Amino acid sequence: MWAWFRSETGGSFLELILVIDYGSGRAQSVAKKVRKQKVFSEIVSWPRAEQAVLERKPLGLITVGAPRGGLQDRLEASNLPLWPLGSVLPAPADLDEFLEKCGCSRDWTWDRFIEETIEEIRAQVGSGRVICGLSGGLDSFTAAVLVHRALGDQLTSVFVDHGLLRHGESEQIVKIAQSGFRIPLVQVQAQERFLSKLKGIEDPEEKRKIIGTEFIRVFEEEAAKIGDAAYLVQGTLYSDLLESGAGQGQLVKSHHNVGGLPPDLNLELIEPLKSLFKSEVRSLAQKLNLPEEIVWRHPFPGPGLAIRIIGDVTSRKLEIVRRADAVVREEIQKAGYYRKIWQALVVLTNIRTVGIESGVRTYDYVLALRFVNSEDGVHAEWSRVPHQLLGRISGRLLNEVKGVSRVVYDLSSKPPATIEWE
């Protein structure tokens, strides 16, 4: 895996600190801290460490976790500065001292990253044509802007409106891409197509698969119209590479990322973010002048609102959840909580309960609010937001969104619950 990983990360940064992971779960935090000191770092799991040292020629090694299998002694014999961190995170002053000892010149800056990535993209593509799927999420947008800087109009982006987006989202994405960045954009209106495919489908996995497959179909049709495209941009992140390399875990949900199309489209991949963590993509996006609403946008799943409606998806239910989501976002923003919450969502539970309106019995849906705090989406805590804020949101939902009889707040952490309900 490492050889693949090495070529995939590119890594033209000469100054590298290798973070060797003994399986502590802290390697990512350590690698991020090194990068914050303007030195590029990569993580390698311990069985691959020696090979990586030979291939990557790092300036120094940091081991994280409890040493195994005599490796530590062999690493010490490599004569590279070695810092056995064990299970503690490095204090800034100590890290500083270690990087000094390694002789790092600390020039891993965003300007340098942008410049080198642009050069790499140009070298890879030459005069070829490139396409990308724009979803409006931070990763796909940042990747598209970077590739557009490198190649200009050789890039065409495709935005598929599957009708499962949030209120105003489609207009906003198109406007930013076209007028803000002048990225050539093909818009596909496929709302009816997706809705009819989803008709009567209740099973979450089936919904996800239908949306994923349909999305690929639409994208392929558009790619064929563009004609001679030979390259596809993907917003793959460093954590995606680390996770896929680990090759572990069972399927919990088949993720459909609108930016994440399968490589069997027969297009060569361009992955300009593959060496970055999510938090770093935010900094890069700011450096590339992406607007705040993209930089700080909460994660939004590829299958969109369809997986926030339990059971079958209808246009009426979509309308309820879309309106509710708009209210929630507005109130969170007004209260100054948008950036304090990692992700806020509303679920139409498909449960109906008895209520009363103007003295008359109603029988309408229960909405569930799910606000979480997380670093990477892998673990999440339910957000401890003020009761007043929850009260305002629930008051507005009950008053303004027709078809809702009750609002509840989800108190589950991940694991065992996942963030999305489906």
Site residues, ligand XMP (CB under 6 A): 253, 255-257, 299, 301-303, 343, 377, 414, 418-420
Cβ proximity to ligand XMP, 209 vs 352, nearer residue: 209
In the complex, minimum distance from the CB of residue 5 to ligand XMP, in angstroms, rounded to a whole number: 22
Give min distance, CB of 329 to ligand XMP, in A.
Answer: 14
270 and 130 Cβ atoms separated by less than 8 Å: yes
Helix ranges (H only) for 291-386 are 292-295, 315-334
3-state secondary structure of 68: coil
Shortest spacing between CB 255 and ligand XMP, in angstroms: 4
Please choose, from the candidates 223, 210, 209, 234, the residue with its C-alpha nearest in 3D space to the C-alpha of residue 265.
223
Q: Which is nearer to ligand XMP, 123 or 251 (CB)?
A: 251
The tokens of 216 are what? 């690929």
220 in helix, strand or coil?
A: helix
CA distance 131 to 360: 55
For residue 30 the two structure tokens come to: 């350590």
Q: Return the number of the residue (392 or 414) whose C-beta is nearest ligand XMP.
A: 414
Q: Give the DSSP H or E segment for 105.
A: none
What is the four-CA torsion angle of 25, 137, 261, 178, rounded to 10 degrees? Answer: -150
Q: How many other C-beta atoms can be found within 10 angstroms of the C-beta atom of residue 401?
A: 23
Burial class (CB in 10 A: 0-12, 13-18, 19+), 314: middle
- Quote the CA–CA distance of 302 and 294 in Å, as a whole number: 16
CB of 342 vs ligand XMP, minimal distance in Å: 8
Q: Give the residue with the Cβ less far from ligand XMP, 48 or 274.
A: 274
In angstroms, the CA 130 to CA 271 distance is 12
Q: Cβ of residue 187: shortest distance to ligand XMP, in angstroms?
A: 20
Across the chain, which distance is largest between two alpha carbons, in Å?
A: 82
Using the minimum distance from each CB to ligand XMP, give the nearer residue, 207 or 323.
Answer: 207
Minimum CB separation of residue 293 from ligand XMP in Å reads 17
Name the residue nearer to ligand XMP (CB basis): 297 or 406: 297
Residue number, 125 or 306, with CB nearest to ligand XMP: 306
CB of 380 to ligand XMP, least distance (A): 7
- C-alpha pair distances (Å), 167 with each of 95, 147, 191, 304, 305: 46, 28, 14, 12, 11
Q: How far is the CB of 274 from ligand XMP (least distance, A)?
A: 17
Q: Between residues 63 and 257, which has the closer beta carbon with respect to ligand XMP?
A: 257
